[in-house]
Amino acid sequence: MLLSVIIVSYNTKALTLQTIESVLKSVQHSTPLKDKTEVWVVDNHSTDGTPEAVRTLQKKESTLHLIENSDNLGFSAANNKALAKATGKYLLFLNSDTVVLDDALDRMIKEFEKHSLDAPTAVLERTSDKLDRLGILSAQLLNPDGTSQAQGGSFPTLLSLAVHMLLLDDLPLIGKLLPSTQHTGHNSRRHTDKIFQQDWVGGTAMMTRQEVLAEIGPLDDNIFMYGEDIEFCMRARFHHWDVAVLPLAKITHFGSASSSSRNAIIGELKGYLYIWAKHKPIWQKGVAKWLIQLGVLLRIVLFGTMIRDTHRAAIYREARQVVRSL
């Protein structure tokens, strides 16, 4: 197989079927990918009929495979179960609330094929204008209305975390010049059709080579959800793999609003602290925790008294207690 697409589902039957159909349609219109693509759906014990619906679709699609978990294993562990069986030269982690547009998969594969792995500079430090060991590639995510969606960010450092937590990346003019762990502010608005490097990209639509997995291993099972993509890209960079976004490959992501949900907010903060414990000097974890607590307090005030979003303020009050306990 040239490509293995992995989709993790949990009580998203209609969206999951829509995602599968978009993948199959894209593959059928691609000469390189037709008959050389397999799709793996890993269901985290859905109760909405998702497994049954996928099994029905399997009767028509021989390259569609289903793994049913007896419990909700989370994003990382579920993906890893499919990784152990996937045979593609390239592997795509794809959220169950996405739609692949036109020739996005074809473009991503062709971009990988353009970049040889034997470049003599591949073991050197990354330069912003040179892709000499492309290992991870993301499509350009779009909102349902067709506008660009924020994608990835800078690697976690005390500076980039401070910029994110203190909302400095939303400042006019200076914000776009500052590194931030989440490119959701002004510095995410990049207008280009050319492939560009990014420290990390989201697991929403993230393609990687088998060679990357052979070197760094799969996603970290210790991260249930949120932050596993950052940690995966960090390990890839430690092994001199480049990470990039291909703007001409477009995938619609319907779940962008879920980034403001309780699980997303708390999961993201827990993910940062796990990354600090795993990859950073021990003295930095206390500083990182303090920055996160300060950022959470800032958001409690912002949503509680200025924007008056009581639901979001309540989530951050809960997040404050969770962070304190870690």
> Domain with 197 in it: what CATH number?
3.90.550.10
Q: What is the mean pLDDT of residues 80-107?
A: 97
The domain containing residue 314 runs over which residues? 265-325
Question: Do 38 and 102 belong to one domain?
Answer: yes
pTM for the whole structure: 0.93
Question: Do 115 and 144 belong to one domain?
Answer: yes
Please state whether beta strands 205-209 and 196-197 pair in parallel, antiparallel, or not at all (unpaired).
unpaired
- pLDDT for 236 beyond 70: yes
pLDDT of amino acid 226: 92
For residue 262, what pLDDT band results from cuts at 50, 70 and 90? confident
CB 246, CB 137: distance < 8 Å: yes
- pLDDT for 11 beyond 90: yes
Question: Do 242 and 307 belong to one domain?
Answer: no
- pLDDT for 234 beyond 90: yes
pLDDT of amino acid 150: 84
For residue 174, what pLDDT band results from cuts at 50, 70 and 90? confident
Last residue of a domain, one of 217, 233, 255: 255
- pLDDT for 175 beyond 90: no
Q: What are phi and psi of 66, to 5 degrees?
A: -125, 130
CB 114, CB 131: distance < 8 Å: no
pLDDT of amino acid 187: 43
Question: Do 87 and 233 belong to one domain?
Answer: yes
**Is 58 a member of any domain?**
yes
Question: Do 235 and 104 belong to one domain?
Answer: yes
Cα→Cα distances 298→67, 80, 128, 274, 316, Å: 42, 36, 33, 22, 9
**Is 305 a member of any domain?**
yes
**Is 156 a member of any domain?**
no
Q: How many domains does the chain have?
A: 2
Half-sphere exposure of 321 (CA within 13 A, CB side): 5
Last residue of a domain, one of 197, 227, 255: 255
Question: Do 313 and 205 belong to one domain?
Answer: no
pLDDT of amino acid 12: 93
Write out pLDDT tens, residues 207-223. Answer: 999 999 999 999 999 99
The closest of 106, 74, 71 to 92, measured between CA atoms, is 106
Q: What is the mean pLDDT of the chain?
A: 92
Question: Do 142 and 272 belong to one domain?
Answer: no
Give residue 169's Cα distance to chain centre: 20
pLDDT of amino acid 151: 85
Residues 199, 204: Cα–Cα separation, whole Å: 15
- pLDDT for 129 beyond 50: yes
Question: Do 25 and 96 belong to one domain?
Answer: yes
3-state secondary structure labels for all residues of the chain: CCEEEEEEECCCHHHHHHHHHHHHHHHHCCCCCCCCEEEEEEECCCCCCHHHHHHHHHCCCCCEEEEECCCCCCHHHHHHHHHCCCCCCEEEEEECCEEECCCHHHHHHHHHHHCCCCCCCCCCCCECCECCCEEEEEEEEECCCCCECCCCECCCCHHHHHHHHCCHHHCCCCHHHCCCCCCCCHHHCCCCCCCEECCECCCCEEEEEHHHHHHHCCCCCCCCCCCHHHHHHHHHHHCCCEEEEEEEEEEEEHHHHHHHCHHHHHHHHHHHHHHHHHHCCHHHHHHHHHHHHHHHHHHHHHHHHHCCCHHHHHHHHHHHHHHHHC
Q: What is the mean pLDDT of residues 163-185?
A: 87
**Is 176 a member of any domain?**
no
Question: Do 203 and 140 belong to one domain?
Answer: yes
